[in-house]
Structure 1
Amino acid sequence: MATVTTDPLVGRLVDGRYEVVSRIARGGMATVYLAVDRRLEREVALKVMHAHLAEGASGADFVSRFRREARAAARLTHPGLVAVYDQGLDGDTSYLTMEYVAGTNLRRTMLTERTLPLGRTLDVLEDVLDALAAAHRAGLVHRDIKPENVLLDTDGRLKVTDFGLARAVNEVTATTTGTILGTVAYLSPELIATGACDARTDVYAVGILAYEMLLGTVPHTGTTPIQVAFQHVNNDVPPPSDVAPWIPPEVDDLLCALAARDPDDRPADAGAALALVRSVRAALDPADLERRVDPPAGGAPEAAAVAQGAGPADDEHRSTAATASLATLSLQDREAAGLTEPLAVGHVVAPTTRPGPPPPPAPPPSSRRRARGRVVAWSLVVLLLLAGAGGGAAWWFSSGPGAYTEVPGGLVEASRTEATTVLDDAGLRHTIEERYDDAVPEGAVVVTDPASGEPVRKDGSVLLVVSKGVRMLTVPTGLVGATEDEATAALEGADLTVGDPVPQSHDEIPSGQVMAVTDAEGNAVEEGATVRHDLPIVLTVSSGPAPVVVPQVTGSEKAAAVQALEDQGLVAAVTEEYSESVGTGLVIRQDPEQGSDAHRTDTVNVVVSLGPPLVEVPNTYSMNVKAAEKALTDAGFRVEVRHPQGISPLNIVYSQDPAGGDGRTAPKGSTVVINVF
């Protein structure tokens, strides 16, 4: 009857936040689960470290390094890198949450297709190196590049994963047991021989990966890890054209440069390697890019399986990589392989030859024979003691405590020259890496790896990270007059920090257009000037004319009304019309009305009174006074009757003022005087 193994973590809520849904894979250092982040309601990949890594004297050191490396990996942002979201400790469980990438990995693709076309091989190289270049610029080395750590999502996009874990595990185990962890098929010669590594170590692994994609097998194979290690240290990677003569010499040169045994013969980092790959691609015949090497005949040989880390899958058959530990290699094996530094010795290795069993009992010997037997026995004891002492001394000085010393103190913030002098005096080699730092002056040491006080092999190397000072960037030109979106994009493209924009009203500059560029304190920043990378650049952006409230001008005199509107930044549009109720020169009405919201430069329509309308004056000459009054009143005038010559019974109009007839006009409502006799 089959036994079903239930993972106790499935269904559990880790750290009160991550609900474990299922197990994805199990490797030599961690188990990966599909989980749901309840807080952000998204799927994540939850990587849980194996408990034994946090046990023992080095457990706390591992947890500390693991957290540090996780924080460093979390700072990496690149579409080709699996994002690290969080890390933490839930009880005894150290975990890491990462972007969940649905799909497969490069190993499964290669197992299916066996070999890849030349063009596709170069595509994968460009994507992997582009992602690694971002890490190398940030001072991080992957240390475990292999097909299992190159993921392909459902859209075919590549993402590199597992930054930081290999470094954290390797640093702890290497300093306590002398063990180097990694997939032996991709380990660089210097990592095998001395444990030292830098960005060129990743470049070497990418070269081996390229060889495997192109030819269907790794260049160095063997039945045991030591055989593979021996070939890495002592044999150059053969040109791919040895297997497929059609492969162009440019590709031979590329792979041999990436996987050169001497680190100095390789590109300095992934960025340089990427440039080399692109230049080689540009020089190739497009027809060659479509060709592929015939897969090796039959199945993968056992030796190749050992070299590639292939082994039995885990209990769910989901293991994506087997990690080869070189901790069990004896000194004799190391010397036979030509490795000058022990890869891993966690204990005193006993001599490989031991005395055989004592001979069967013989008849009682004579005293001379007994004496000879005692001499032989003591000789064997002495030989065994000498062999044990020699082996112990060899272990002590090659991999034991005698092989290590402490990194000197006082290196951080010392000048580059001072730090290298201290290391030279201590008999330690050093490598230099430069990077910008906002706090440490240019030319001073920012950090060392290993840190001061930590163990390092006496023939090992200490990495000095030297400050290049504050990173200075150039402010782009053409910002003033551009739109806010255009200026923001230009600043972000120059890696500058953009602060919150400051809106400012302006009567003439359109809304959304940049008026000025300043720093966070409001000081003007000239375009083309050099500023600190972390200096926030603030854009002063026009918000258009300022808002105003329309004042009351109805009933005001024309000049006063126009002035009141102009004082608010408004434009008065004056028209005139007759009015019987509003006096001449006064505002009859306005639009918009009083209290309305408007903006400076908006127009307010103002209607000014011309006074009463003009109407035709009737001619009342020779009319009876009553008839004359009625005619004038009907025309809209007031009538004043005068008798300059005294009252007469005739009551006939003989003159009027203003005169009437012939189209003569006067304001409606005005007074017409008629003289009567």
Structure 2
Amino acid sequence: MSETLIDPLLGRLIDGRYEVRERVAAGGMATVYVAFDKRLERDVALKIMHQHLAADASEADFVSRFRREAKSAARLTHPGMVRVYDQGVDGDLSYLTMEYVDGENLRERVTQEGTLAVGEALAITDAVLDALAAAHRQGLVHRDVKPENVLLDESGRPKLADFGLARAVTEVTSTSTGMLLGTVAYLAPELVADGDADARADVYSCGILLYEMVTGRQPFTAETALGVASRHVHEDMPAPSATVPWLPVEFDELVAVMTARDPQGRPADAAAALVLVRHARSLIDDPTLDRRAEPPSGAVPIVHDDGATTVLSDAPSGSTIALPIGLGGAAALVAGGDAEILDDDPDAIEPERPNRRTGWWIGAVLATLVVLGGLGLWWYTSIGPGAYTTVPSVQSQTEADATASLEALGFVVTTDEEFDDVIAEGIAIGTDPQEQARLLNGSDITLIVSQGARQETIPEVVGLQESEALAALGDAGFPVGDPTFEYSDTIPEGEVMASTPAQGETVRHDKEVSLELSDGPAPITIPDVVGSTESAAIDALEEDALVVTVERERTPDAPKGEVFRQNPEAGADGIRTQEVTIWVSDGPPLVELSDYTFNTVERARDELEGLGLNVNLEADNPWPWTTPEFVVGQRPAAGTQLEVGSTVTLVYDS
């Protein structure tokens, strides 16, 4: 029979846009096709939910799960995840369009190879955990990590697909029907036991995945799916080296930690598990990483039927089943559109059997059931699982959105503000109690909202010494960068001249502050002012901000008003504002005249000339034939002080 007859959707145009061309997979909730997007002209993966789930009003939960897959997956952007493009409804069909990965899935790869090399298995686990870490950071768990959901593109890069069973961690408690969906070989013990799951359940599934890739077999097998699930709950994971003896202890320890039965013994999330995987890989030598175990004896390729969906008696590897929480009953395989989801609710009423008893007995039984149902409902909503709600992650949401999210779960929200150096003002930092906490319905919860980075005012540091300024900035919490130095004629060396940002400015508390310090007056070379007039010398010295002191002396070496000496000397090293002394000539030295009366003219003249004075002779008797003999008078008079070079007149008697 042709494929078109088997599957009537082939060739159909969905929502006027997606042309169904080929069926590639069928699962417990949906069938996946390759379709051509006529609007964007590209191939996409088209996931269509089984119509019997969408049409059956009692299965409304599965419809909401399917739609929640689109919303959950659309929140995730990571190169290791299959991208979700669109979601919608066309008549009785609910569909989801995703990135089409042309390649194979990990199940097909393991089936073909039997086992994978240790290094390759660790690399695939690394990629899967890296993608899961992005989901866990947003509060989402996958809950169905298995080889079928790890797609390998043409280059062999892994991509994680199918968040169909994923829920926000805040919603993952237990299903209202008492059943859970999952692939039994990879379900974490706590998910089987009570329906609770968080990020550690995905870590457990990745540990099983790693075990299977290297050993070629699953750690637990049994005749029924319930038997496998029971072994996950009640037995510790066998060491991989029990099957492959040459595996190192580091590999055994890694698998043991990731698959610990107690969730507290596992890494908190995929990011923490990823650290352990990379550390273990660094401890294993290259020959062991390149080594591959022999395939298990009797291993044969799995034949996949692309025909009509069938119901199998036992769940094959990778099949999604409906499993009763707590292992309270039989589980049915959900392999396709013809499979039925078992209703294993212990409070369900069995069909009424023929009864010949009187009507009062029937009434009594019905009354008892009503009372018990009411008590059960009261227990569930008051002290049972329904009385508690898990605190969601609201980090990075706006205050309004975070408040709405918490109030929608029934919490009474109060807001507190805290400074945060990373998260912008008005964005949620977290809650108190923290996310993942289990609180009674209607509990008070504090939403912590960022005020942005704390702002501080730069203290007054100008005029302080460097050590004092550093202490003031340190008290205010500011980091201080390397200082800069500037010469200053007025500010003492080592004193703060300015700061960047400026003092009094309000900035982030972690803003680095730079100080500008005085390096004192600038160095100079003392100018030469000897030979200059007094005013010219002062102008030249004051141009370099030197402080001038003037001394005056009489000297024969310079005319009056000329600088004849300076200290420091010209050409010496100095600094601006230092003191310089100059000596200005007050004219030639003074000579005090003696009384030369009654001295011979010759003697008086010799003595006066010896003092640097000029002599003029004048006769008292003007007769021309007389000769000078004795001084009878002088001008100026004795006792007068004269400058050297002045003229003295001697009057002689002829």
Query: Which residue of structure 1 aligns with residue 569 of structure 2?
Result: none
Deviations 1:423-468 (CA, angstroms, capped at 9, x unpaired): 889984555454414333899784489778xxxxxxx988999855
TM superposition shift of 1:242? 1.6
Write the distance in 2 (CA, Å) between the matches of 1:332 and 1:321: 21
**Number of residues of Structure 1 aligned to a counterpart in Structure 2:** 411
Relative to 1, partners in 2 of residues 1:396 and 1:261: Cα closer, same or farther, differing over 3 Å? farther
Asked if 1:214 corresponds to 2:194, the answer is no
Amino acid at match of 1:79: P
- Of 311, 319, 322, 1:325 maps to 322
3-state SS of paired residue (2:5): coil
TM superposition shift of 1:63? 3.5
Query: Which residue of structure 1 aligns with residue 63 of structure 2?
Result: 63
- Structure 2 portions without partners, runs of 5+: 311-315, 332-341, 351-355, 412-437, 455-505, 513-654
Write the distance in 1 (CA, Å) between the matches of 2:70 and 2:246: 44
Deviations 1:610-661 (CA, angstroms, capped at 9, x unpaired): xxxxxxxxxxxxxxxxxxxxxxxxxxxxxxxxxxxxxxxxxxxxxxxxxxxx
Deviations 1:36-72 (CA, angstroms, capped at 9, x unpaired): 1111111110000001222333455543443343122
Write the distance in 2 (CA, Å) between the matches of 1:438 and 1:273: 26
Contact preservation (8 Å) 2:49, 2:66: no
Matches within 5 A, 1:102-501: 102-165=102-165, 167=167, 175-299=175-299, 313-315=305-307, 321-327=318-324, 331=328, 345-346=344-345, 428=387, 431-440=390-399, 446-447=405-406, 469-470=449-450
Contact preservation (8 Å) 1:438, 1:469: no
Matches within 5 A, 1:480-559: none
Contact preservation (8 Å) 2:165, 2:181: no
Write the distance in 1 (CA, Å) between the matches of 2:105 and 2:123: 15
3-state SS of paired residue (2:46): strand
Amino acid at match of 2:201: T
Matches within 5 A, 1:3-18: 5-18=5-18
Amino acid at match of 1:42: R
- Max Rg structure: 2
Contact preservation (8 Å) 1:145, 1:186: yes
- Structure 1 portions without partners, runs of 5+: 335-342, 352-377, 409-422, 453-459, 475-523, 531-677
Write the distance in 1 (CA, Å) between the matches of 2:395 and 2:79: 23
Write the distance in 2 (CA, Å) between the matches of 1:426 and 1:312: 40
TM superposition shift of 1:161? 0.3
Relative to 1, partners in 2 of residues 1:67 and 1:246: Cα closer, same or farther, differing over 3 Å? same
Identity %: 49
3-state SS of paired residue (2:287): helix
For the aligned residue pairs, the C-alpha RMSD in angstroms reads: 4.7
TM superposition shift of 1:30? 0.5
Write the distance in 2 (CA, Å) between the matches of 1:426 and 1:27: 30
Relative to 1, partners in 2 of residues 1:461 and 1:30: Cα closer, same or farther, differing over 3 Å? farther
Query: Which residue of structure 1 aligns with residue 602 of structure 2?
Result: none
Deviations 1:479-515 (CA, angstroms, capped at 9, x unpaired): xxxxxxxxxxxxxxxxxxxxxxxxxxxxxxxxxxxxx
TM superposition shift of 1:404? 5.5
Relative to 1, partners in 2 of residues 1:529 and 1:30: Cα closer, same or farther, differing over 3 Å? farther
Write the distance in 1 (CA, Å) between the matches of 2:147 and 2:408: 28
Query: Which residue of structure 2 aligns with residue 617 of structure 1?
Result: none
Relative to 1, partners in 2 of residues 1:154 and 1:29: Cα closer, same or farther, differing over 3 Å? same
Relative to 1, partners in 2 of residues 1:36 and 1:240: Cα closer, same or farther, differing over 3 Å? same
Write the distance in 2 (CA, Å) between the matches of 1:428 and 1:434: 20
Relative to 1, partners in 2 of residues 1:82 and 1:472: Cα closer, same or farther, differing over 3 Å? farther
Contact preservation (8 Å) 1:329, 1:345: no
**Greater Cα offset, 158-167 or 124-133:** 158-167
Amino acid at match of 2:37: D
Contact preservation (8 Å) 1:144, 1:183: yes
Relative to 1, partners in 2 of residues 1:461 and 1:314: Cα closer, same or farther, differing over 3 Å? farther
Query: Which residue of structure 2 aligns with residue 48 of structure 1?
Result: 48
Relative to 1, partners in 2 of residues 1:406 and 1:289: Cα closer, same or farther, differing over 3 Å? same
TM superposition shift of 1:525? 9.7
